[in-house]
Structure 1
Amino acid sequence: MSTTSPTAKQKAGLVIAGLYSLTNIPSFLTPAPEGEAGPPMAVLVLGSVLGVIGLVAVVLAWRGNQVALRVAAGAIIVNTLTGLPAFFVDVPMAIKALVGFSVVLTVVTVVLMFSGKRRLPAVTD
């Protein structure tokens, strides 16, 4: 296991990933009201499980674990992918906007999480 100290950008990405994961944990507790369309219960449970995995991985990544950094990124990416069907079904525009925001947030978060220290190319004479 590789451990390194995260940079400021990585810490910012980890904070966003942690908050995003934390907000997904209680998703299975709020199913759609009776008679209204919503995500299947399996997707809600998966979101909660991925939220817990992502939160634990963020804590470990904060301590410098590079494998946990990848697990945290994978958890938020998969969690975001479960919302993409909202673009292809008849749901309110507010839901589509929320899913679009989560996609942008995930991309920004992953970019920040993997923005490591820049290495200068070796100079050869």
Structure 2
Amino acid sequence: MNTTSKRQKAGLVLAGVYSATSIPSVLFPVSEGEVGPPIGILVIGSVLGLVGLVAVIVAWRTGSRAALRVAAGAVIIVTLTGLPAFFVDVSAGVKLLVGVSVLFTIAAVVLVFSPERRPTPVLD
């Protein structure tokens, strides 16, 4: 029985898109002499992207609360791996991209964990 609300489904869509875009990160390592994430971080991002995407699919189909938590956790950890970009010498475009990903993650997590709206009682 699927018990996910419309808000949770919207959050799952955001988490799914973010997770799917994280999967190929290992395929684009930083060139020698450039500042960027180490290959280990790229591998972690790819693995967590895959885990997050699977969790999103499971949560969408079954309404599993555990899958909702795993999807949110994967997105949060992937975002945390990008935060060092604010503290190293990288282009403003990279910092902007990381900032947008932080906002995207916050929106996804808030929506995934938002409760269903309860109907307002009608007073006679």
Over residues 95-121 of structure 1, what are the superposed CA-to-partner deviations in whole Å (9 max), with x where a residue is unaligned? Answer: 00000000000000101111121357x
Name the structure 1 match of 2:87: 88
Question: Match of 1:82, SS?
Answer: helix
Q: Aligned partners of 1:58, 1:116: CA distance in 2, in Å?
A: 17
Moved over 4 A (4+): none
Q: Aligned partners of 1:82, 1:16: CA distance in 2, in Å?
A: 18
- Tell me if structure 2 keeps the 8 A contact 1:4–1:66: no
Structure 1 position 4, deviation (Å):
4.6
**1:38 is matched by which residue type in structure 2?**
G
How many residues matched? 120
Pairwise mapping of residues 1-125 of structure 1 onto structure 2 (< 5 A)? 4-63=2-61, 64-119=63-118
Alpha carbon RMSD of aligned pairs, Å?
1.7
**2:54 is matched by which residue type in structure 1?**
V
- Alignment TM-score, normalising by the size of structure 2: 0.91
Calculate percent identity across the aligned residue pairs: 62
Over residues 6-32 of structure 1, what are the superposed CA-to-partner deviations in whole Å (9 max), with x where a residue is unaligned? Answer: 111111110110010000001000011
- Tell me if structure 1 keeps the 8 A contact 2:23–2:45: yes
Unaligned runs of 5+ in 2: 120-124
Q: Aligned partners of 2:33, 2:39: CA distance in 1, in Å?
A: 14
Q: Aligned partners of 1:74, 1:105: CA distance in 2, in Å?
A: 14
- Tell me if structure 1 keeps the 8 A contact 2:35–2:89: no
Over residues 67-113 of structure 1, what are the superposed CA-to-partner deviations in whole Å (9 max), with x where a residue is unaligned? Answer: 00000000000000000000011110110000000000000010111
Q: Aligned partners of 1:119, 1:19: CA distance in 2, in Å?
A: 28
Structure 1 position 37, deviation (Å):
1.3
